[in-house]
Each structure stands twice: as structure tokens, then as C-alpha cells.
Amino acid sequence: MTGFVSFVSSGPGDPDLLTLRALNRLQVADAVLFDDLSSGPILAHARKGADLISVGKRAGRPSPKQDHVSRLLVDYARSGQKVVRLKSGDAGIFGRLEEETTALTQAGIGYEIIPGVTSATAAAAAAGIPLTRRLAARRVQFVTGADVTGALPQDVNMAALADPQATTIVYMGKSTFSLLAQRLISHGLSPDTPALLAHAVSTPQQLIERFTIQTLAAHLEGATNASPAIILYGALAPEGGDLE
């Protein structure tokens, strides 16, 4: 008998942001393979007695290899279990989803993908701003600030990232933003372009700070704090109230 895998998007951390379908799958799963950022209070909604397996990846820390995670998914499903692969934010955004769905397809195992709240939209909501602004921010782009080596990717479209009429969200970009900002400015983006640094969105530790891209680059220069954060820059709404 072959089981089934549900890729459940856990959102940015607050269990209240889980969808009803995500909550249902957690409550009936026999095994939950979870990311680091999907742990904590969200796991309290898993079925009592379910196997809880940490497979999260964090920069600079020992982490399970991707092929090991994929193999675990296949092995649990082949034993006939209902499996939840709990991914932080939305599973389809920088979550290595395709590697895992490919492994399941090759093994002949069925799966579903349950979308969720990504940290970009959660950060904008927490800051009280829209990601698009009429006549000012006509599009939104999500990019990663680090490649597999942890360096700034070399193949990014810098002209697009320096578009003043776009809102850009940078995932995993704290350690590389100083270099990115230099390149943005050299491609014509104003150093005074507004930027937000959002830590631990939707959790009790949430902190959202306002900068320009130039002052944020200086703030993050040589930063060693590995805590997760997301960066937004572009035609953001003006400052309004306390964002902490």
C-alpha cells in the first residue's frame, strides 16, 4: 500500500495564518517532516502520536542533504502513511519544492501542494503597506540573495532589480545585501530608495525596521546574526506608525 504526501505551506510562523486545509492535513498526518521555520507552535497542531522529523536547512549550520529529505518522503509514503512535508512560508517560493515532487513522481507516489502565506506578503501586512502602488510600484519581484554557496548570485537581471517602479523582495539576503546595494546603485537605483528589514514576521519576536538601500547596506555590512529576515525595497509606502 502506498501513502500520500501533502506539501503544506506553514506561512511565516503564526499558526493563525495556516489555511483550513493545511490545518486539516496536519491533524491527520502519520508523519510530519518540517523545516526549522515551521517548528514551534505550528507543530502543536499535528496529530498526537505522529512522527515529527526535522529536515530544515539553515545557512551556516549542519543540515540534511536534499536527497536525504527526498528519500525520507518516499520511504514514509511507501510504508502507507499519510505524510505532511511542512514548508515555511509558501512551499513554492524558494522552498526546493521541485526536487521533492520530482522524487515522488519518479517513485509513483501521489502528492498535493497546499499554498500559504509567504513572508513577503506577511511582512508588507505587518508594516501596513501594499506591495504594489498605483502609478509607483507596478510590479512585484521575488529574488534570492544567496546561491548554493551563500554568495550573491551572478546571473541575476540587475536592470530588473534596479527598476524604481518595482517592489523587490529579497529572501536570504542579509549577508549579501551590501554587495547587492552597490550594484543596484551602479545600475541607476537611487541610494535613497526606501527599504524594510523584517525579522521573524508574525511571531512574538517580530521586528520591522525602515532604511534606505544605502543605510540598510551599511547596517548589514559584516553582519553575523544568522536570524531569518526578509528585505523589501522599492516604491514603498511612507512611514506610518510604530512597526515593532
pLDDT digit string (tens) for 30-65? 999 999 888 889 999 999 999 999 997 655 555 678
Contact 10, 89 (CB under 8 A): yes
pTM summary value: 0.89
Domain positions in the chain are: 4-114, 119-234
User: Is residue 65 among the annotated active site residues?
Assistant: no
* 180 Cβ contact list (under 8 Å, min separation 6): 145, 152, 161, 170, 173, 217
- With respect to CATH, is domain 4-114 assigned 3.40.1010.10? yes
Q: 119-234: what fold?
A: 3.30.950
> Which of these is catalytic: 14, 35, 90, 163?
35
pLDDT surpasses 90 at 210? yes
pLDDT surpasses 70 at 79? yes
| Res 228: pLDDT | 81
- Calculate what percentage of the chain has a pLDDT beyond 90: 79
Grid coordinates standing for 54? 526535522
> Which of these is catalytic: 30, 36, 51, 57?
57
**Residue 139: pLDDT band by 50, 70, 90 thresholds?**
very high
Query: What average pLDDT does the segment 125-149 reach?
Result: 91
pLDDT surpasses 70 at 224? no
User: Is residue 35 among the annotated active site residues?
Assistant: yes
